Amino acid sequence: MQVIITQASTVECGKYIEADCGKTSAHIYISEFGYINVCCKNASHKAWKANGRYFRSFDEALAGYKSAEMKAIINAAQEV
């Protein structure tokens, strides 16, 4: 699967990445304090204005999503 990273920036306490894979888009924040915030930009995110889900590791984040697109985005974010 081809993941396109649309934005990658380093902020004060971590890294912020936005990526697309097929019709799926997400933003991921990797904190220096050891947590990862993953937000899949879908109808639920838009309706509830949610901040996504928090994980303690990339392995937990990968286990938290079923779709191959989200797993590809998380793997690509890990390599940035």
Residues facing residue 38 across a β-bridge:
28, 53
Stated pTM of the model:
0.91
Q: Structurally, how many domains does the chain consist of? A: 1
Range of 71's domain? 4-79
For Cα atoms 13, 15, 19, give the angle at the middle one, nearest 5 degrees. Answer: 155
- pLDDT (tens digit per residue) in 47-62: 777 788 999 999 999 9
pLDDT band at 64 (very low <50, low <70, confident <90, very high): very high
- pLDDT (tens digit per residue) in 4-23: 999 999 999 999 999 999 99
Give percent helix, percent strand, percent coil of the chain, each to the nearest 5.
30, 40, 30
Is the pLDDT assigned to residue 41 strictly greater than 80? yes
Question: What pLDDT sits at residue 46?
Answer: 76
